[in-house]
Structure 1
Amino acid sequence: MRGLIAAALVWLMPGMAGAVTCADVTFDGAGFTLCEVDLTREDLRLFLRDDAGEILGQFGAVDSSLGPGERLGFAINGGMYHEDRAPVGLYIEDGVQEHGLVTSAGPGNFGLLPNGVFCIQAGRAQVIESRAYAADPPACRHATQSGPMLVIDGALHPRFLADSTSLNIRNGVGVDTTGTRAYFAISNDMVNFHQFGRFFRDYLGVANALYLDGRVSRLYAPDHGRNDFGFWLGPILGTVIDAGGGGG
């Protein structure tokens, strides 16, 4: 299935090999926007604060914060945050840790264990269950903790119910078996956790996937005609590309 999806995404956006590719797809009666990032060719980063320490919070602010000759290519909200928009759990940006890992259960979706960490390394990424991360922390250039895990080693989160009436717009991330391709999905219809988890497991075929957030879910994909406005965000995941249009 992953190979068919990759082929479809490339076909939808000819001449952009190596760029982030997005497509609208349907699974189990619900619409999703799916974006694929080739980590061997794209510079995927986390963003939180500007040089003055103020939280960026918007895709436009991230774009404006980049260096000369750089622009934001793709972005999505990158994990849960407190009212002051500081990260709830582990947050590492460019090798510097701002907030530590949280492994205890707690209220809300973040505390619905198991939760997990999205870890970006050189040319690859991982989705790791938080306690597994704590037991053997990898070296992450960027990392964000969120929850719950959607898929854990090929199984749906044990608390998900197929008939749950808790419906929301949701976004999350999964990684292929090689770790070189990250799949970001945002639902265009309200779905429950069970359906969203099955999208990653059954449609994308990924073994591990992580929920990023619900009602604040937003996507910046200008090549796909998306630039979502709305809530101010905390962590933001995005690719940095050459202002001339090349990949990172």
Structure 2
Amino acid sequence: MNLRRILIAALALLVGVLLYRNVGSAPAPKSAPVGDCTATRFEDAAFTECLAVPGKHQIALRLKGQNGVIFRGFPTLAQAADRGDIAFAVNGGMYDTGSRPIGYYVENGERLRKLNQADAEGNFYLKPNGVFFGDAAGNWRVLSSEDFAATVTKRPQFGTQSGPMLLITGKLHPSLAQNGASLKLRNSVCVDARGTAHFAISDEPVSFGQIARLMKRACGDANALFLDGTISSLWNPAGGRMDVRFPLGPLIVVTSLRKEPGK
């Protein structure tokens, strides 16, 4: 009888352990969306994911105000923009000490910087790097700089070059570790098969590999581009969030499309 009780207790303990493991490995549920952004946990780290949807949003790049002064952050952008239309904004694209882009940059169809394919040190030059580009209301894409140079013949309405690529057709950049020792705030973008642009920002320091896996979850076998690190920032007006990190460079601004009366 004692042996039977021991076996039953051991079996119950084993079942409990298996159940605990299954619960512990399940994906953490996302919070309710605040505007177009949602707080989530991925691999035990806090992230915020924001979606830009064709037909619902348009995307533009902003660098300077009408006075010609570079914004360098969201507070000055907020003073110059129609805040009621902004769904969210993130920083995106490498820049110099004056917050000027060091790579390809197109704003409202005007090219301010040519594609940069130089070799040097730093994240931007960890080849392949890439370009996030498209038109205002859809047809958004992420391509490696090499593919962009080889295949894109018409100038997009917006485009920003950054690096490195995080994913190349769903596979981790060959020079990035699955779990590198460098942990920083990071943000990134990918475009899924439906054309939705997924922007992610870590709310705590993470590795390149970890945010790349988050992009893999969001966009599958698509390309994903690292946008910036350390000073990665998000402005989500609906949630009352405006990260004030300084200085920023190019700003990716996602606005809600206005519906015509009666539609």
Q: Which runs of 5+ in 2 are unaligned?
A: 1-29
Alpha-carbon distance, 1:109 to partner:
0.4
1:202 alignment partner, SS class: helix
Larger % of helix: which?
Answer: 2
User: Match for 2:187 among 171, 187, 198?
Assistant: 171
Cα separation, 2, equivalents of 1:40 and 1:133: 25
1:126 touches 1:175 (CA, 8 Å); kept in 2? yes
Considering fraction of residues, name the structure with more strand.
Answer: 1
Task: Give the aligned partner of residue 33 of structure 2.
Answer: 12
Structure ID, larger Rg: 2
| Alpha-carbon separation, structure 2, partners of 1:153 and 1:225 | 35
TM-score, with structure 1 as normaliser? 0.85
CA separation in 2, counterparts of 1:162 and 1:55?
36
- Alignment coverage as a number of residue pairs: 229
1:121-143 per-residue CA deviation (whole Å, 9 max, x = no partner) reads: 24220001001001122431100
> CA-atom RMSD, angstroms?
2.3
Question: Post-superposition shift, 1:198?
Answer: 0.9
- Percent of aligned pairs with the same amino acid: 38
**Cα distance change of structure 1 residues 243 and 131 upon mapping to structure 2, 3 Å threshold:** closer
- Name the residue aligned to 2:81: 66
- 1:242 to 1:61, Cα distance in 2 relative to 1, 3 A: farther
1:36 aligns with 2:44: no
Query: Who is 1:234 aligned against?
Result: 249
Cα offset, 1:216, TM superposition: 1.1
Are residue 116 (structure 1) and residue 130 (structure 2) matched? Answer: yes
Instruction: Give matches, 1:93-242, under 5 Å.
Output: 93-121=107-135, 122-137=137-152, 138-179=154-195, 181-205=196-220, 207-241=222-256
1:23 lines up with 2:34 in the alignment? no
**Does the 8 A contact of 1:175 with 1:206 survive in 2?**
no
| Structure 1 unaligned spans of 5+ | 1-7, 14-19
* TM-score, L = length of structure 2: 0.80
- Look up the equivalent residue of 2:33 and give its one-letter code: L
Q: Distance in 2 between matches of 1:204 and 1:239?
A: 19
Corresponding position of 1:3: none
